[in-house]
């Protein structure tokens, strides 16, 4: 059973589809346990994550769902264990795609190519929006948090690829990302950088004008200092990443 793999980064997956959970509450229960793989989850936490409006005898109903989950999981049923305050699923973090993703993202390396390889492997684990077929309000909140983790990893991957000279190849992807996430300034920053480094400074400045106008119209604010500084740096005619009249852009 140690070889069993579970997926949360997309629709809920058990052993690459070998086991299917048709009942939404069972999917929610298993997902809640897998989010904290190997660790106990209290009954109260499980109730909050499974139901938007818990039934009057939620703890008793939860026990029924645990029994049903064990039955549906078949050979994997014994992995769902009772703990002192609730339940846990007895799997290693590496058996769950989410925790493999987090482990790979956390492997910071002084070599940019090694870190980039880890990020690419981590992002390849995603099959779609996180927890795509788990529908409680609490779990949708968890899904939004996981999708944010993915976007942060995408940002770091793109940053490394630009540093390694792949700016021209990234332009189509960055245009798509800025359309999909128009208020995420990092994608606009990367697109401007890629265009400028590719000799398309006028196009980079146009991106800033579009973002500036959108922020003013929709939020009543200006773009943040990083994007504004990048705009000024391009106006200075400087290469991004070299000393300029405004100081370095990409230092953290």
Encode pLDDT of 196-216 as tens digits. Answer: 999 999 999 999 999 999 999
Selection from 93, 131, 177, 101 nearest residue 8 by Cα: 131
* Domain range 1-164, CATH architecture: Orthogonal Bundle (1.10)
Reduced to 3 states (helix: H, G, I; strand: E, B; else coil), residue 221 is coil
Q: How confident is the model at residue 242 (pLDDT cuts 50, 70, 90)?
A: very low
Mean pLDDT of the chain: 91
For the domain bounded by 169-252, which CATH number is listed?
Answer: 1.25.40.10
Reduced to 3 states (helix: H, G, I; strand: E, B; else coil), residue 119 is helix
Q: Where are the domains of the chain?
A: 1-164, 169-252
What's the pLDDT at 192? Answer: 96
Selection from 123, 135, 160 nearest residue 28 by Cα: 135
CA distance 220 to 213: 9
> In the numeric block, which tokens belong to residue 73?
């999981």
Residue for token digits 């499980």?
Answer: 46
Region of poorest pLDDT, from 39-43, 91-95, 230-234, 243-247: 243-247
Q: 237: burial class by Cβ within 10 Å (0-12, 13-18, 19+)?
A: exposed
Query: Does an H or E element contain 188, and which?
Result: helix 185-197
Query: Can you tell me the mean pLDDT for 158-179?
Result: 95
Query: Can you tell me the mean pLDDT for 11-17?
Result: 92
Q: How confident is the model at residue 241 (pLDDT cuts 50, 70, 90)?
A: low
Same fold across 1-164 and 169-252: no
> In the numeric block, which tokens belong to residue 22?
């048709």
CA distance 127 to 129: 7
Q: How confident is the model at residue 2 (pLDDT cuts 50, 70, 90)?
A: low
Q: Provide the sign of the torsion angle of the four alpha carbons 85, 87, 92, 97, taken in this order.
A: negative
Selection from 159, 210, 105, 147 nearest residue 10 by Cα: 147
**pTM over cut 0.75:** yes
Question: Is 187:179 a contact under the CB 8 Å cutoff?
Answer: no
What's the pLDDT at 40? Answer: 96
> In the numeric block, which tokens belong to residue 141?
């909140």
Alpha carbon 140 to chain centroid, angstroms: 13
Query: Can you tell me the mean pLDDT for 62-70?
Result: 97
Query: Can you tell me the mean pLDDT for 74-89?
Result: 94
What's the pLDDT at 3? Answer: 75
Summarised one tens digit per residue, pLDDT across range 161-171 is 999 999 999 99
């Amino acid at each position: 059973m140690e070889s069993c793999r579970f997926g949360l980064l997309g629709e809920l997956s058990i052993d690459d589809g070998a086991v299917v959970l048709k009942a939404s509450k069972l999917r929610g229960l298993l997902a809640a346990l897998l989010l904290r793989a190997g660790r106990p989850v209290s009954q109260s936490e499980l109730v909050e994550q499974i139901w938007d409006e818990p039934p009057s005898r939620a703890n008793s109903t939860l026990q029924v769902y645990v029994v049903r989950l064990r039955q549906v999981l078949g050979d994997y049923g014994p992995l769902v264990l009772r703990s002192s305050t609730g339940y846990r699923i007895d799997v290693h973090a590496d058996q769950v795609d989410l925790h493999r993703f987090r482990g790979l993202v956390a492997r910071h390396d002084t070599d940019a190519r090694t870190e980039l390889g880890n990020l690419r492997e981590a992002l390849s684990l995603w099959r779609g929006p996180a927890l795509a077929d788990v529908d409680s309000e609490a779990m949708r909140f968890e899904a939004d948090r996981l999708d944010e983790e993915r976007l942060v990893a995408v940002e770091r991957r793109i940053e490394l690829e630009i540093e390694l000279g792949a700016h021209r190849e990234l332009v189509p992807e960055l245009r798509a990302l800025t359309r999909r996430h128009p208020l995420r300034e990092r994608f606009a920053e990367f697109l401007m950088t890629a265009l400028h480094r590719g000799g398309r400074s006028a196009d980079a400045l146009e991106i800033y004008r579009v973002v500036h106008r959108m922020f003013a119209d929709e939020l009543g604010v200006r773009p943040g200092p990083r994007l504004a500084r990048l705009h000024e740096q391009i106006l200075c005619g400087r290469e991004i990443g070299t000393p300029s009249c405004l100081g370095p852009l990409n230092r953290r």
